[in-house]
Amino acid sequence: MLKGIPSLLSPDLLKILMEMGHGDEIVLADANFPAAACARRLVRLDGHPMPALLDAILRFFPLDTYVPEPVALMQVVPGDPESPPIWDRYKAILGSHGLDAARIGQVERHEFYDRARQAYAVVATGEGALYANLILKKGVVAP
């Protein structure tokens, strides 16, 4: 155990976050996402909700300031509900960590899967909300 580290962040996830470099991406995947099929490195956090995980990660993880959209959501497929309720929670959490909602992008579903296959890691959660998947692009920590 370490002081100040949320218990939600497993040793495997902390290792992945530390290994990642500037520009690397990590996918936070909901329970429906094909995480094992897409992941180069898979971290399992089954049973954990995405909002709590996102908040815990952002306490330590710098988002990339050199790209317009360091956070990406999976775009809603035409015909599904337009704005998943969990997105409002994400925007509030990201805002509390200093990210303007205008810097949150949306990626078409199949393009999202392609980016997940190239991501440094995929974190599989137990989040049951639809369209709860996120991609975070790592930035730098200034001295």
Span 29-86, pLDDT tens digits? 999 999 999 999 999 999 899 999 999 999 999 999 999 999 999 999 999 877 899 9
Q: What is the mean pLDDT of residues 101-115?
A: 97
CA 109 to chain centre: 15
Which band of pLDDT confidence, cut at 50, 70 and 90, is reported for residue 133?
very high
Percentage of the chain lying above the pLDDT 90 cut: 93
Active site members: 22, 64, 113
Topology annotation, domain 24-137: RbsD-like fold (3.40.1650)
Bridge partners, residue 29, by sequence? 124
The predicted structure's pLDDT at residue 142? 83
The rounded distance, in Å, linking the Cα atoms of 30 and 35 is 9
Q: Specify the pLDDT at position 125.
A: 97
Its sign, for the CA torsion 104, 98, 19, 11, is negative
